[in-house]
A and B are shown apart, each in its own frame.
Chain A
C-alpha cells in the first residue's frame, strides 16, 4: 500500500473517531480536531511523502489554519461581547 493511501485511511479513521467522540455538538471543536489530525499526519509522514503530496497536505493545513483563526477571532469577539 502506498503512503498516500495510508495517509487517506489514517485521516479518515481520525475524522470518524472525532465525529463519534464529539457527535453533532460542537462544530468549532470538530474542525480544530481535524486540523490537529492533519498537523500530526504531516509531521509524522514528512520523511515518507513526495513533495507533490506534501504540498497538497500543506494546502489543507493552510485552509485549516484560516478556519482556526476565524474560530479564535469569533471567540475573542464573543468574550468582548462585541458579537
Chain B
C-alpha cells in the first residue's frame, strides 16, 4: 500500500522540524526557558536537514540492477561464453577494472586494454573483457573512503566491503579471507535476497561469469585491493549466504 505523501519521511521530517522550530520561537519569545528553546531549535533544524531521501524507490532500484545484468547475461549467452570470469584490476594498460570471460580453456590472461571488448590474441587467449557490472556500486563505496584502495591489502578491502554492506545496505554482513593464493568471500544478503533469487532463476550461471552487480562490487574490490587478477573458482549459495572462492592467477 502506498503511503500518503505527508507520511513519507522526507515530508514528515520537515513537518516535525517546523513544529520544533515553532516551539522554540514560543520558548524564546514568550518564556525564559533559554536552554529548552535552544534544544527545540536545534532538534527542528537538525531533523529538517538530516532526514532526506534524494533517491529512487527500492523496487525501481532493484529493477535497474536487474536490467543491466540481464543485458550482460543475454550477450554472454549469445556468444556461448560459459567459462568462469577473471577479475582484472587496473594496471599499466587498464585504467579501470575489467572482468574477462575466456571463450575456451584459459591458458593465461591476454593483454587487455581499455578500448578492447572482444579479446582475440590467439589460442587460449580469446574471450570478452567487460566492465564489471558492480563497478558503479564500487565507485560509490570508494568515494566514501579517503584514500585509494588499489593494492592496499586485505584490510582496505574489508573497509571497502564494510561501506558496501553497512554504508550502502547491499548486504547484511560479509567476510573476506585470504589463504595462500585462495581468496574466500562470503556475503550474507538481507533486503536483496529476493532480487538474488529472482535473478538466479532467469540467469543462474551469471554468478560464475560476471556475477550480479552486488556480488561483482565485492569481487572487484577484492581484486583491486590485492592488485591481482582473480579467477572465480567456485560459487555456492545456501539460503541467504553467498560463498565465492577465488584464485590468484
Contact = CB atoms under 8 A, between A and B. Distances in A.
A47 B166 contact: yes
A47 B169 CA distance: 11
B53 interface: yes
B192 to A, nearest CB: 16
Contacts of B35: 19, 22-25, 27, 30
Interface string B34-60: 111011001100110111111000000
B49 A49 contact: no
B68 interface: no
B162 A24 contact: no
A60 B49 CA distance: 10
B103 to A, nearest CB: 41
A30 B163 contact: no
A52 B54 contact: yes
B52 A4 contact: yes
Contacts of B105: none
Main secondary structure, interface of A, reads: helix
A8 B167 CA distance: 17
Interface in A47-78: 47-53, 56-57, 60
Contact of B51 (A8, A16, A27): A8
B46 A48 contact: no
Contacts, number: 65
B33 interface: yes
Contacts of B162: 47
| Dominant secondary structure at the B interface | helix
B166 A15 contact: no
B54 A15 contact: no
A49 B47 CA distance: 15
B167 A60 contact: no
A13 B214 CA distance: 35
A5 B38 contact: no
B163 A8 contact: no
Contacts of A25: 35
Interface string B144-174: 1000000000000000001100110000000
Contact of B47 (A12, A24, A31): A12
Contacts of B139: none
Nearest to B163: A47
Given A24-B33, A48-B167, A51-B144, A4 B50 contact: yes
Interface of B: 9, 13, 32-36, 38-39, 42-43, 46-47, 49-54, 143-144, 162-163, 166-167
22 contacts: A2-B53, A4-B52, A8-B13, A8-B46, A11-B43, A11-B46, A12-B43, A15-B42, A15-B43, A18-B39, A24-B34, A30-B38, A30-B39, A31-B38, A47-B162, A47-B167, A48-B166, A50-B167, A51-B143, A52-B54, A53-B50, A53-B52
Given A5-B51, A11-B50, 13 more contacts: A2-B9, A4-B52, A5-B9, A8-B13, A8-B51, A12-B43, A12-B46, A16-B39, A19-B35, A19-B36, A34-B42, A56-B50, A60-B46
Shortest Cβ-Cβ A-B pairs, 9 listed = A19-B39, A4-B51, A30-B35, A15-B39, A8-B47, A24-B35, A12-B43, A48-B166, A8-B51
